[in-house]
Amino acid sequence: MNQQTYIMIKPDAVRRGLIAPILQRFENTGLVIEKLELATLSREQGAANYAEHEGKPFYDGLIDYITSGPVVKMVLSGPDAVLVCRKLMGATNPRDAAPGTIRGDYGLIMDANVVHGSDSPESARREIELFFGA
């Protein structure tokens, strides 16, 4: 099934010069980059993206981190794009991510895990609208 998904290369990866190798991983799957933008998120965008974590002990630090520097926002499309990207990214905690995945190869710690990706087609629609408009 052809679908869109939202991917964000996070501030730690941008600071470490990992944009090109991460983009290459996504392109190597055959997915198409429909939109791509380098931007610094506002606190409102960060809060909206991570609303499900509001009230948790790590929430404020998460918002501080995701707004701490530029990110690369992307819309990717292709067959089962959400699932393909989730597998390519690896487990959320880099310590649990398999070698060969983006987080397994480049992630350092849970709080700075290199990349964010939509976890469902519904999340993808919401995140694409949040970061790129309707």
Catalytic residues: 116
Q: Are 74 and 62 in contact (CB under 8 A)?
A: no
Report how far residue 85's alpha carbon sits from residue 114's, in angstroms, rounded to the nearest whole number: 13
Q: What is the DSSP letter of 15?
A: H
Beta strands across the sheet bearing 2-9 = 32-39, 71-79, 2-9, 115-117
Report how far residue 134's alpha carbon sits from residue 124's, in angstroms, rounded to the nearest whole number: 12
| Token pair for 116 | 């964010």
